[in-house]
Amino acid sequence: MINKILVPIDGSENSEKGLRYACWLASKVGAEITVLHVVSIPYTGESAVFHIAPLEAAGRTILNRAKKIAEEENCVHTHFVSREGSGNPGHEIVRFVKEEKFSLIVMSSRGHSTLTHLLLGSASDMVVKHSSCPVLIVK
């Protein structure tokens, strides 16, 4: 049974499309939605401290946009979470899924540029390979 849906977002049109699809699905099955944005920290150690604030601000903007979409789509039971992680955001998504016991992940197939994909790998690829629950990829 689908009762708890995770929707990772990165601010791209594709991830917003995934959120809209998840809202539709949640309304049909009576599930709650958690929207997750992973703040990807490109550095570790002391140098990361100086670069986190702008990334966190961008993350808040992405989550605020997601809140507007959820309101437009009449998503009643929706929660919004931001987490920090380095490298591929897929690692943090998989970790969050294990912690919170989601029954389904709805995410877009891609959001970042080809260069980012080559450097970090695809978050959706990582999640599909390592998730403990089913993953629905929205194109």
For 54-64, write each residue's pLDDT tens digit: 888 999 999 99
pLDDT for the residue 115: 47
- Average pLDDT along the chain: 87
Weakest-pLDDT range from 23-27, 40-44, 126-130, 134-138 = 40-44
Helix (H) or strand (E) holding 49: helix 46-72
Q: Which CATH superfamily is 4-138 part of?
A: HUPs (3.40.50.620)
Task: Kindly report the backbone phi and psi dihedral angles of residue 136, in degrees, each rounded to the nearest multiple of 5, phi listed first.
Answer: -105, 120
Position 74 pLDDT exceeds 80: yes
Q: Which two tokens stand for residue 97?
A: 């899924």
Q: Where are the domains of the chain?
A: 4-138
Pairwise CA distance, residues 133 & 139, whole Å: 19
Buried b vs exposed e over 120-137: b needs ≥16 C-beta within 10 Å? bebbbebbbeebebebee
For 4-47, write each residue's pLDDT tens digit: 999 999 999 999 999 999 999 999 999 999 999 999 877 666 65
Buried b vs exposed e over 62-75: b needs ≥16 C-beta within 10 Å? bbebbeebbeebeb
CB atoms within 10 A of CB 78: 22
Question: When comparing pLDDT for 122 and 130, which is higher?
Answer: 130
Helix axes 123-130, 89-100, angle to 10 degrees: 40
